[in-house]
Structure 1
Amino acid sequence: MRAIELFAGAGGLGIGVSRAGFIPAEVIEWNRWCCDTIRENKARGILPVAKWPLVEGDVRNINFQRHEGRVELVTGGPPCQPFSLGGKHRSHNDVRDMWSEAVRAVRETKPKAFIFENVKGLTRETFATYLAYIVHQLSYPELTCGSGESWTDHLAKLECHHIAGSSCRGLSYRVVYRVLNAANYGIPQRRERVIFVGFRSDLGIEWSFPAATHSLDALAWQQCRSGGYWERHGVSRRQRIVSPRFEERVECLASKPMALPWRTVRDAIGDLPDPELAPSLAAEFLNHRFQPGARSYPGHTGSPLDEPAKTLKAGVHGVPGGENMLARPDGSLRYFSVRESARLQTFPDDFRFHGSWSETMRQLGNAVPVELATLIANSVRAHLAAATAPERKQ
């Protein structure tokens, strides 16, 4: 099955989609630093990006019609700054809002499915009407906005089309979306993002998001009740620092949770040498160098070692220090290295990031966790394969 990746960034979503078995027909990204990261890994022969047909350019200048009927999946993360909780919340008034281009790619390629990702802020009450507009556009991509027509007028037209039960006429998709916390799927980071998945209506596919596999309760149980977490990491009783919040949760649990425990920062980076305390050993790992200058201030206290990391952020005017710091058990702080941040985003260790610390952290802050992308893409591919099996037998 073939796919097109829009707004590829450093490649988190794309790597996951490729791992699920989709072959990229085109990978598009306009930021040269992100493209340099992908190109460097292509040159080094790092799979799956080594075989990516990368296009550096503005998606608005790409004609997707040549891919019509030739790709099964369109994926991407339209620029999210218009909706980010850390941004200016301009939504449809922001020139960085690229949802119309995502819809155009679907309209011109007519894929069997699509996967799009964006920040949780898009689901805020402030953006409720525009969120509905996005969903309706994705549902009926051929019902385009007319010349001089406002987006609210276009939404009204889409709503009328939907209520009239016209989904059987023309290109249409069954669309679902949900805010997912990556920690609930084994990612060592509390990262909430809204994921949109759509299947072409004529395929008749019924689909729902994969069930969560990990939980906070299970981690609290292992730290406060069974001690299995500490034993796994060889932490003595006197060195164990348990969050009071975890202790409160365990008091409410009658039995051991069935889910796997949330993965923590220690789970993700515990085998890496500390880049501040052991720089020569750290130098043996790609992008694993100490970055000075970390400091704590109200609301920005770093990520505790024995909890999932706080959401890595790209920042509007540079990297936000507090969100991208490690809070050691002894109370000291330091910035995560690029390699540690890549671990928190589940990128492979042989994947090199290009650019300065600030630039590479921006790439990581905008990325989709690779393992979460793989999970969703695997589910989508399995449903597509099941739905198209009769076609292959003919």
Structure 2
Amino acid sequence: MAWEDDGLELLPEAVVPSRIPSTHPLHQPWQLTARERERYRLMAQRSREQSRRAAAGELDPLHEVNIPSLDTRDLMPRQEPNGLRALSLYSGGGGLDVSFERAGFEHVASYEILDHAAETLSRNRPEWEVHGGGDGDVHGVKWKDWRGRVDVMHGGPPCQPFSNAGRQQGHLDPRDCWPATVNAIRAIQPVAFVAENVPALASAKFADYVRDVIVEPLERSRPRYYVHRILLEAKDFGVPQVRKRVVFVGFRSKKAYDAFRNPTPTHAWNDPGSDLPATMGVRAALGLPQVEEHPDGLAPTIRSGLTGPRHTTSICNSTSAARSWAALGLWPNGVAATRQAASAFPTDTGAFRLSVADVALIQGFPPTWTWPSAVYQAVGQIGNAVPPPLGWAVAKAVTKALSKA
């Protein structure tokens, strides 16, 4: 037994289970003591009361509604149509769909198993063919029907099997969709494909997996695919966030494979000697004042998760990330639906509360891209997405390689 020093009852130090049942079969709850669970319960209770008071207009705003200084469309200028048709798998909130559209590709269709993410695509692009829910499950599609109708297939298979947050179970995780992705490529036979994931997939831990499940099956297929594997960072393309991705780019043509060049950075972060435009710090990008107590910098990687027993509106993925957000003077928990709602709901620390639109900007989405879902669904979609400026650079590199084939 131990005394709590912040007004709580005498509580044991042993780990106790949560009273809230998990809503996802793969969720692994935190191992917390009774003391810790009580502290979080009181925090949540106070947060709900503050949220109620904010909605009722009972609280005084700490900051005005922000006007961003960064228009992410400037990071990915719209290209002329290139005559190539793109099919999207695991479309999510549309990160790669936006990337390829702005790079000049004709959008053929999207497949996305989450209904609320498919709704985001349909609301933003009513003219698109979007398969959502059960129809968006990649395991149930007759992919041969798309043969001859698709030039480039792109998508990001679920990253949880390879991420730290997902416990890195690899092929043992039922969310592993790389075999289904390879099957789709072999059935459709596009002239090229782009598939992205977390950088851990490029680590030594998964080297055998990458060879056995991704590369060799495609090299042995008919037609054969020649595959590049590249590591990219969002900050090199003007996105004000620390975010790395591994991207697999495959070509049917050896000539196109040889012609492909890794996307070169369009921006430079914290490099006064570079000739490239500077990547904005996240405070500058959001249009916030530069203050001595909160030096500007890149935002930590936005949390990407939609599993667990609670509907969370937090984008913070670790204790170290929480410290980074605090140093920036930004509040990563309790993301608000709108900038107006964020302004009306002051934080205890005085940090700037983020809105869905702010989180989307930090990820690189255009300001015109809207999020019709609940806040927790919207931030989950955003956090799972490829930063569109990074995807745009890859799409442009693919276009250039194919033009030389």
Question: How does the TM-score come out when normalised to structure 2?
Answer: 0.66
CA distance in 2, matches of 1:383, 1:58: 31
Query: How far is 1:32 from its partner?
Result: 0.9
Distance 1:267 1:172 in 2: 47
Structure-2 residue corresponding to 1:55: 131
Give 2:275's aligned residue. 258
Does 2:386 match 1:307?
A: no
Name the counterpart of 1:127: 206
Q: CA deviation at 1:305?
A: 6.2
Aligned to 2:109: 26
Task: Give the equivalent residue in structure 1 for 2:21.
Answer: none
How many angstroms apart in 1 are the aligned matches of 2:147 and 2:212? 24
Letter in 1 for 2:161: P
**1:114 aligned onto 2:197:** no
* Counterpart contact for 2:178–2:214, Cα < 8 Å: no
User: 1 CA distance for matches of 2:301 and 2:210?
Assistant: 22
Check whether the contact 1:338–1:357 (CA below 8 A) recurs between aligned residues. Answer: yes
Check conservation: 2:296, 2:328, Cα contact below 8 A: no
Q: Is the 8 A contact 1:326 1:336 kept in 2?
A: no
Q: Which residue type is aligned with residue 238 of structure 2?
A: G
TM-score by length of 1: 0.67
Residues 183, 189 of structure 1: 8 Å contact kept: yes
Task: Tell me the residue number matched to 2:266.
Answer: 213
Structure 1 unaligned regions, length at least 5: 42-48, 143-169, 222-255, 273-303, 388-394
Which structure 2 residue ranges, 5 or more long, are not aligned?
A: 1-83, 331-348
Q: Of the candidates 201, 213, 226, which is equivalent to residue 174 of structure 1?
A: 226
1:13-52 Cα deviation digits (max 9, x unpaired): 11111111211222100001101212222xxxxxxx3332
Instruction: Say whether 1:83 aligns with 2:187.
Output: no
Q: Which residue of 2 aligns with 1:139?
A: 218
Gap change, CA 1:199 and 1:371, over 3 Å in 2: same
Which residue of structure 2 lines up, in the alignment, with residue 38 of structure 1?
121
Cross-structure match for 1:5: 88
Paired amino acid for 1:386: K
Q: Is the contact made by 1:265 and 1:305 (CA closer than 8 Å) also made in structure 2?
A: no
Q: Secondary structure at the match of 1:261?
A: coil
Give the equivalent residue in structure 1 for 2:65.
Answer: none
3-state SS of 1:214 partner? coil
Q: Partner of 2:369 in structure 1?
A: 351
1:192 and 2:244 equivalent?
A: yes
Equivalent position of 1:240 in the other structure: none
- Is it true that 1:267 corresponds to 2:284 in the alignment? yes
Percentage identity across aligned positions? 33
Answer yes or no: is the 8 Å Cα contact 1:103–1:137 preserved in 2.
Answer: no
**1:114 shift after superposition:** 0.5
**Deviation by residue 1:295-320 (Cα, 9 ceiling, x = unmatched):** xxxxxxxxx66112111112353445
Distance (whole Å) between structure 1 residues aligned to residue 281 and residue 220 of structure 2: 41
Q: Please tell me whether the aligned partners of residues 103 and 141 of structure 1 are also in contact (alpha carbons under 8 angstroms).
A: no
Task: Give per-residue Cα distances to partners, 1:127-181, cap 9 Å, x unaligned.
Answer: 2211222442463363xxxxxxxxxxxxxxxxxxxxxxxxxxx311111112211
Find the aligned partners of 1:141 and 1:79 in 2 and give their Cα distance: 24
Other structure's SS at 2:377 match: helix
Letter in 2 for 1:265: V
Deviation at 1:71, TM superposition (A): 1.2
Give the Cα separation in 1 of the matches to 2:326 and 2:295. 7
Residues 71 and 305 of structure 1: CA distance in aligned 2, closer, same or farther (over 3 Å): farther
Q: Distance in 2 between matches of 1:135 and 1:98?
A: 11
Counterpart for residue 301 of structure 1: none
Distance in structure 2 (CA, Å) of the matches to 1:212 and 1:82: 29
Instruction: Tell me which moved more, 366-375 or 196-205.
Output: 196-205
- Please give the alpha-carbon distance, in whole angstroms, between the structure 2 residues aligned to 1:214 and 1:348: 17
Equivalent residue of 1:307, what SS?
Answer: coil
In 1, Cα distance between the equivalents of 2:391 and 2:223? 26
Give the distance between the partners of 2:326 and 2:365, measured in 1 at CA: 18
Q: 1:138 to 1:15 in 2, by over 3 A?
A: farther
In structure 2, relative to structure 1, the CA distance for the partners of 1:332 and 1:126 (3 Å cut) is farther
> What's the offset of the Cα at 1:9?
0.2
Residues 182-227 of structure 1: per-residue CA shift (max 9 Å, x gap): 1012111111011111111355542121122333341xx4xxxxxx
Q: Quote the residue 1:321 is aligned against.
A: 316
- Between the aligned partners of 2:352 and 2:165, the Cα distance in structure 1 is 22
Count of paired positions = 286
Question: How much has 1:82 moved relative to structure 2?
Answer: 0.3
